[in-house]
């Protein structure tokens, strides 16, 4: 390995024991080798040394409860890791999405995109909400090429 001008380590030399065929050379993951070296090693005063262990960012838990949501509409999610609460959004959220989606299917040729625009989320998020509403039995199974 050698230090490049940008301070990163790069592969400078590779020893192949045996016949270096073109097939063998193509299978050598040079990028992965360099990425691993840069993740595990660092350069200090022109010497390559093990990189210090990266510390995970940790926010201390103060134990104080989170402030209540401004309105109790069922759209808010409990804080992650709250004991005794299911993951994801409540059934009421998906029931509202299902009702809104069904209403959009009567008015629009692109109900999921309109639902996404109305809530300010990407279309993929709206599709995920609709899929979850279907999984929870709040919408009928989808049919290819048909909204609703």
Q: Using a cut of 0.75, tell me whether the model's pTM lies above it.
A: no
Question: Which residues of the chain have a pLDDT value below 70?
Answer: 41-87, 145-148
Give the total number of structural domains in the chain.
2
User: Does residue 30 belong to any structural domain of this protein?
Assistant: yes
Q: What pLDDT was estimated at residue 77? A: 52
- Whether 147 and 104 map to the same domain: the answer is yes
93 shares a domain with 38: no
If asked whether residues 44 and 97 sit together in one domain, one would say: no
CATH number of the domain at 127, please. 1.10.10
In a domain, 58, yes or no: no
The reported pLDDT for the residue numbered 49 is: 64
Alpha-carbon distance of 134 to 136, in angstroms, equals 5
Residue 135 lies in a domain: yes
- pLDDT at 122 (0 to 100): 92
Does residue 67 sit within a domain? Answer: no
pLDDT at 68: 46
Range of the domain at 33: 2-50
43 and 101 within one domain = no
Within a domain: residue 139? yes
DSSP codes joined into one string, 29-59: -HHHHHHHHHHHEEEETTEEEEPPPPPPP--
Question: Pick from 5, 6, 13, 3: which is nearest to 41 by CA?
Answer: 3
Residue 59 belongs to a domain? no
CA angle 98, 109, 130 (to 5 degrees): 25
CA-based radius of gyration for the chain = 27
Same domain, yes or no: 93 and 39 = no
147 and 100, same domain (yes or no)? yes
pLDDT on residue 86: 56
Task: Give the pLDDT of residue 70.
Answer: 47
Strand ranges inside the chain, DSSP E: 2-3, 9-10, 41-44, 47-50
């Amino acid at each position: 390995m050698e230090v490049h001008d940008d301070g990163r380590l790069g592969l400078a030399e590779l020893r192949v024991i045996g016949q270096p065929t073109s097939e063998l050379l193509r299978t050598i993951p040079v990028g992965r080798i360099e990425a691993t070296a840069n993740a595990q090693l660092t350069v200090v005063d022109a010497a390559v040394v093990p990189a210090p262990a990266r510390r995970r960012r940790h926010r201390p838990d103060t134990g104080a409860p989170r402030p209540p949501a401004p309105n109790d509409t069922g759209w808010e999610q409990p804080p992650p890791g709250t004991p005794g609460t299911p993951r994801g959004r409540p059934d009421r959220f998906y029931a509202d999405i299902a009702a809104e989606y069904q209403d959009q299917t009567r008015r629009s040729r692109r109900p999921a995109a309109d639902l996404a625009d109305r809530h300010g989320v990407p279309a993929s998020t709206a599709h995920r909400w609709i899929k979850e509403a279907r999984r929870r039995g709040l919408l009928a199974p989808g049919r290819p090429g048909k909204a609703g």
